Amino acid sequence: MTRDEDCIFCKIVAGDAPASLVCEEEHTLAFADRYPASPGHILVIPKEHYRDIHTLPAELAGEVMQTTSRVARAVNEALEPKGINLVQSNGVAARQSVMHFHMHIIPRYHHWKEDDDISILWRALEVQRTELDEWVTRVIRHVR
């Protein structure tokens, strides 16, 4: 199993760092975020160290998403939030703070127009359909 000795998530997987575990599967682990955005904020990770979505094997990404789906349903039933955000960031520019692939399950307890100090919004770009089609054409060439 690939492990980064300096990675806090790898230390959690190995049992060398404390965590409040939610569930453990063969290849994934879910635990409470130590610095939660809201009550019930859970992280889901692959047990093996992969820096980001670009290095994560597709099959393992599917397993992470299956665990994320199961845990998000449990959070929804147990805590009854008004909504849930699933967030996944890649790279420092995207505000990835731990360089080990992870999914955030963030329960939301207020209507999105109310101020709950959780910002996951962006300002939409104004683009023409031709520009969208150009981006899509470029991406399609690389889809495997």
Could you report the per-residue pLDDT of 115-141, keeping only the tens digit for each? 666 777 666 668 788 887 888 788 888
Residue 74 banded pLDDT, cuts 50, 70, 90: very high
- CA 67 to the chain's CA centroid: 11
Residue 37 banded pLDDT, cuts 50, 70, 90: confident
Between 111 and 68, the more confident residue is 68
Bridge partner residues of 23 (DSSP): 30
Least confident of 30-44, 72-86, 87-101, 127-141: 127-141
> Quick one: tokens of 91?
């790279």
The per-residue pLDDT for 141 is 85
- The 8-class DSSP code of residue 56 comes to S
Distance CA 3, CA 49 (A): 5
With H, G, I as helix, E, B as strand and everything else as coil, classify residue 69: helix
**Residue whose C-alpha is closest to residue 13's, from 37, 34, 30:** 30
pLDDT over 80 at 112, yes or no = no
CATH level 3 topology of 8-114: HIT family, subunit A (3.30.428)
Mean pLDDT, all residues of the chain: 90
Least confident of 38-42, 72-76, 127-131: 127-131
Q: Are 1 and 47 in contact (CB under 8 A)?
A: yes
> Quick one: tokens of 1?
């199993």
